[in-house]
């Protein structure tokens, strides 16, 4: 449910962050390449092996199990002989394929400020897809509005990323009498379509009918899965804005409430906390990595969190330190004369 008053998308846009502006697909991608990806390459010094490693099928090495390792990679024969848990490491695929399972339902097209969850999702997906295609990796996508309405088969070029951006931003008006999001349909579609082991991103706010957890777990049994959860601060704590009409973005159901009532806001917060716990339990049961992406997030920082998440997944407690350039300089957080060499 969301308030219908003061919907920021009905007002003229202020200066949105560069990665999330309302320009055409090519202009958006150019801005991402100049304002985000160049800085990201500087911070990681071009070391994108961390993002791609571990999706292959050729055994590279064995090492002792560490916290955060994927239990599916435990070598039980070696573990039984040594009485110590060991995990298998794999050579990365030369042609890694990444798939984006994209929830573009009505609840994603919401933001309490100048940026919607949809805009955040588009910026993140476009940046990550371009990073991968620049390094020769193929990217495919399934797009879900109120059903899976678009499938983009994997390709590895800039035009393909532009096509993905266009499809993500295509209007998907709510259907009369809509049933709401059934994320299970998107996940089941991905499970049926993606046959070869891949890196799979499930990008959603996970506001959905129940049942998606088991489907997510089934995909994670065959693929390397990262759940990217979209959220907005107003979804966690209802602001004190007085009498408002809340409207479900997908079904159109409306509810008139007094958001100035402390008791109502406390009940809202309790429900939000319970929903958070259910989500955490669902991700844990599915055994997937989780990256949270809020509408007030910095895209560059989110991509760095993703790189760190991959590093921990692949190396556990022995994760090597990232080969960073001076982050303060590259993030523009100190004057140039102090940046050093």
Q: What is the pLDDT of residue 139?
A: 96
**Residue 84 domain-assigned (yes or no):** no
**Residue 6 domain-assigned (yes or no):** no
Report the pLDDT averaged over residues 163-182. Answer: 83
**Residue 170 domain-assigned (yes or no):** yes
Among 53-67, 162-176, 186-200, 315-329, which is the least confidently predicted range?
315-329
CA distance readout (Å), 292 to 74, 200, 257: 27, 16, 29
| DSSP code per residue over 132-160 | HHHTT-EEEEEEESSSEEEEEEEE-SHHH
pLDDT for 8-43, tens place per residue? 333 333 333 444 444 689 999 999 988 888 888 777
* Residues 102 and 144: beta-carbon distance below 8 Å: yes
- At residue 243 the predicted structure's pLDDT band, cuts being 50, 70 and 90, is confident
- The alpha carbon of 80 is separated from its chain's Cα centroid by a whole number of angstroms, namely 37
- At residue 254 the predicted structure's pLDDT band, cuts being 50, 70 and 90, is confident
Percentage helix, strand, coil, to 5, in the chain? 45, 20, 35
* pLDDT of residue 128 exceeding 60: yes
Q: Which two tokens stand for residue 282?
A: 């669902």
- What span, in angstroms and rounded, lies between the C-alpha atoms of 180 and 174? 9
Q: Tokens 């997937």 appear where?
A: 288
HEC secondary structure over 163-179: HHHHHHHCCCCCCCCCC
Nearest to 213 by CA among 147, 274, 278: 278
**Residue 86 domain-assigned (yes or no):** no
**Terminal-to-terminal C-alpha distance of the chain:** 51
Q: What is the pLDDT of residue 175?
A: 66
- What span, in angstroms and rounded, lies between the C-alpha atoms of 207 and 144? 13
pLDDT higher at 297 or 16: 297
- At residue 52 the predicted structure's pLDDT band, cuts being 50, 70 and 90, is low
Q: What is the pLDDT of residue 45?
A: 54
Among 65-74, 182-191, 232-241, which is the least confidently predicted range?
65-74
276: left (phi over 0), alpha (psi -120 to 50) or beta: alpha
pTM: 0.75
Residue 118 sits in a domain whose CATH number is: 3.40.50.410
- What span, in angstroms and rounded, lies between the C-alpha atoms of 270 and 65? 38
Report the pLDDT averaged over residues 54-63. Answer: 59
| Helix H or strand E segment including 193 | helix 183-193
* pLDDT of residue 3 exceeding 50: no
Pairing of strands 86-91, 97-103: unpaired
**Residue 1 domain-assigned (yes or no):** no
Provide the β-strand partners of residue 87.
63, 74
Structural domains counted in the chain:
1
* pLDDT of residue 81 exceeding 90: no
CA dihedral 69, 70, 73, 78 (to 10 degrees): 40
- Residues spanned by the domain of 237: 15-56+92-338
* pLDDT of residue 101 exceeding 70: yes
Report the pLDDT averaged over residues 165-184. Answer: 83
**Residue 112 domain-assigned (yes or no):** yes
Q: What is the pLDDT of residue 314?
A: 66
**At 152, phi and psi to the nearest 5?**
-110, 115
- What angle, rounded to 10 degrees, do the helices at 117-134 and 299-315 form? 60
Report the pLDDT averaged over residues 87-100. Answer: 74
Strands (E), 29-156: 58-64, 86-91, 97-103, 138-144, 148-155
Among 36-45, 70-79, 87-96, which is the least confidently predicted range?
87-96
**Residue 7 domain-assigned (yes or no):** no
């Amino acid at each position: 449910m969301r308030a219908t008053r003061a919907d920021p998308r009905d007002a003229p846009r202020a200066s949105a962050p560069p990665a999330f502006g309302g320009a055409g697909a090519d202009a958006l991608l150019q801005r991402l390449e100049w304002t985000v990806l160049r800085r990201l390459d500087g911070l990681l010094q071009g070391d994108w092996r961390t993002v791609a490693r571990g999706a292959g099928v050729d055994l590279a090495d064995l090492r002792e199990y560490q916290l955060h390792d994927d239990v599916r990679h435990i070598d039980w024969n070696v573990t039984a002989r040594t009485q110590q848990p060991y995990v298998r490491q794999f050579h990365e695929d030369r042609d890694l394929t990444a798939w984006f399972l994209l929830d573009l339902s009505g609840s994603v097209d919401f933001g309490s400020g100048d940026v919607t969850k949809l805009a955040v999702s588009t910026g993140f997906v476009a940046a990550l897809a371009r990073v991968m295609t620049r390094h020769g990796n193929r990217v495919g996508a399934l797009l879900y509005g109120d059903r899976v309405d678009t499938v983009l088969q994997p390709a590895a070029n800039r035009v393909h990323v532009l096509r993905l951006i266009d499809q993500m931003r295509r209007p998907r008006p709510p259907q009369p009498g809509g049933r709401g999001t059934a994320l299970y349909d998107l996940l089941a579609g991905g499970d049926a379509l993606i046959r070869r082991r891949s890196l799979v991103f499930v990008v959603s706010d996970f506001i959905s009918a129940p049942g998606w957890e088991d489907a997510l777990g089934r995909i994670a049994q065959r693929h390397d899965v990262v759940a990217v959860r979209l959220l907005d601060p107003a979804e966690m704590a209802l602001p004190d804005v007085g009498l408002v009409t809340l409207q479900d973005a997908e079904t159109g159901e409306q509810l008139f409430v007094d958001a100035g009532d402390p008791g109502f806001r406390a009940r809202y917060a309790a429900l939000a906390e319970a929903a958070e716990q259910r989500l955490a339990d669902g991700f844990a049961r599915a055994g997937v990595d989780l990256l949270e992406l809020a509408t007030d997030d910095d895209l560059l920082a989110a991509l760095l969190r993703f790189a760190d998440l991959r590093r921990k997944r692949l190396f556990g407690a022995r994760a090597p330190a990232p080969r960073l350039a001076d982050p303060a300089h590259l993030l523009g957080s100190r004057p140039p004369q102090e940046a050093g060499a």
